[in-house]
Structure 1
């Protein structure tokens, strides 16, 4: 189900140059792609389906039929804005001043959606003895390319916890202080650093941003549960994209 149609840029028309080419990327500097469920369910791609299943036979008809069952899920998840993931180490972009990002996590035979809120922000107020109203802050602007990893931190030992590794920032939208930020001074750790784990600010201290995919609570469901698929895929196919 994690199959995608991509464009590859090559040095010449010679098919032999395909292996040395690179995937075409979109404005967000991640590979441009059409997910397999979109190909399976959209009549516009009927000729592509025929090539994949009958001409090249790279996709079994049974798999294409399964992908078609997930087509409406992909539509409801906003195909253009959703980050489609299937493995740890798979890069995607995060605008640091955006409140919500939707992920479609694709497994062997299912697709689960997760909407994460305020990945790069923190709030002040409403702490014990704090009379200030709750206020959400986005201290940093820019867009970063990052990936999910299974946490190897000691405090997460024995748990299925995902963390975010910062890979780089976009040249056209670099990391910088948010000019509209009016909150308290922030520690330097909150500025994303290439190669480091993404940090957040909780309980008035810098902490590693992390999600426990198995955590349960009586008040609400675990929004991180869909990322359990990444652990399942790692066991089935290998750990990294």
Structure 2
């Protein structure tokens, strides 16, 4: 039987702050520009990386780094007693259930700042593009480093803006005009007293997030203000019971059903199953399946769950309206 994944292992990564000592007995991974098959050279020193750019179009060979097997990576120039921010990659071993903090093998490539054309105002993140060699031209042929959930590993803009030790990275992003002062200020005002888990912070519809079928749904939604979307009964069949166990990923999406023409109606689609679904009691609900809309009984039949975001005056409706307003709906 598959071992249940904790939320921490589903999220797959974590961030920390630490004081850099005068010297740390570990290794630094760097790269030299060479012809042929290039392999990053490993030099003694602290685990630190200072990219020359986070703009994919301006990368140079020395920005190439090998994270394979590394437990963590620090960003920014070294400074005695300076609080710096690092990132690490975690995944749970199915055989033992132990969480291992180590970047996967073949994690060689470039850090860069990612922002989709359709991104919401405060959406963006630093990601890691896995490439076959240190040539910047290999960037477009590469792929983003993925979490065990198959979602991209990233440091989201709110984490960069609010996390102690990311100041130098934010300054770098500002210098390259990849972010604005207004974006950073809004993130800091919005998330100043909020713990940030990037996969449970939503900016728009169609963004995947983790779900556990035996628990309520709790998300943060970024609009003009920060909304808390807490949904107690989305996976329940009555006031108390959750008929299913298991976990996966889901997304909110706009309805295309002609029945709802002229109305803003949202469905919930299960996109992935991570831990197998089990039925714990008799229920009228259909078992969650990857690729299918969540269904609910109503008026004597089972139909896709649908939420009219303009027809209700609830905290859930307010949060879903913020997601809709941030999305480019045809």
Alignment coverage as a number of residue pairs = 209
Q: Which residue of structure 2 lines up, in the alignment, with residue 92 of structure 1?
A: 209
Provide the rounded CA distance (Å) in 2 between the counterparts of 1:209 and 1:35: 30
Q: CA deviation at 1:53?
A: 0.7
CA 1:200–1:9 in 2, change beyond 3 Å: closer, same or farther? farther
Q: Which residue of structure 2 lines up, in the alignment, with residue 129 of structure 1?
A: none
Provide the rounded CA distance (Å) in 1 between the counterparts of 2:272 and 2:322: 25
Provide the rounded CA distance (Å) in 1 between the counterparts of 2:184 and 2:219: 22
Q: How does 1:54-133 map to 2 (within 5 A)?
A: 54=175, 56-72=176-192, 75=194, 78-80=195-197, 83-98=200-215, 100-107=216-223, 109-123=224-238
Q: CA deviation at 1:81?
A: 7.6
CA 1:50–1:29 in 2, change beyond 3 Å: closer, same or farther? same
CA 1:164–1:46 in 2, change beyond 3 Å: closer, same or farther? same
CA 1:158–1:112 in 2, change beyond 3 Å: closer, same or farther? same
**CA RMSD, aligned part only?**
2.6
Q: CA deviation at 1:191?
A: 1.4
Q: CA deviation at 1:162?
A: 1.0
Q: Which residue of structure 2 lines up, in the alignment, with residue 2 of structure 1?
A: 123
CA 1:81–1:40 in 2, change beyond 3 Å: closer, same or farther? closer
Provide the rounded CA distance (Å) in 1 between the counterparts of 2:225 and 2:272: 30
Provide the rounded CA distance (Å) in 2 between the counterparts of 1:81 and 1:33: 8
Q: How does 1:1-241 map to 2 (within 5 A)?
A: 1-54=122-175, 56-72=176-192, 75=194, 78-80=195-197, 83-98=200-215, 100-107=216-223, 109-123=224-238, 136-170=240-274, 173-174=275-276, 176-178=277-279, 181-182=280-281, 184-186=282-284, 190-201=286-297, 205-216=301-312, 221-234=314-327, 238-239=328-329
Rg larger for: 2
Provide the rounded CA distance (Å) in 1 between the counterparts of 2:317 and 2:312: 10
Which structure shows the bigger proportion of residues in helix conformation?
1
Provide the rounded CA distance (Å) in 1 between the counterparts of 2:148 and 2:241: 26
TM-score of the superposition, structure 2-length normalised?
Answer: 0.56
Which structure shows the bigger proportion of residues in strand conformation?
2
CA 1:147–1:51 in 2, change beyond 3 Å: closer, same or farther? same
Q: CA deviation at 1:199?
A: 1.1
Which fold has the larger relative contact order, with Cα–Cα distance below 8 Å and residues 6 or more apart in sequence? 1
**Any gaps of 5 or more consecutive residues in structure 2?**
1-121
Deviations 1:174-225 (A, max 9, x none): 2x323xx23x3546xx1123332111245774232222222335xxx34221
**Any gaps of 5 or more consecutive residues in structure 1?**
124-133
**3-state SS, counterpart of residue 6 of structure 1:** strand
- Asked if structure 2 preserves the Cα contact closer than 8 Å seen for 1:6 and 1:34, the reply is yes
Q: CA deviation at 1:165?
A: 1.9
CA 1:197–1:185 in 2, change beyond 3 Å: closer, same or farther? closer
Q: CA deviation at 1:58?
A: 0.9
- Asked if structure 1 preserves the Cα contact closer than 8 Å seen for 2:237 and 2:284, the reply is no
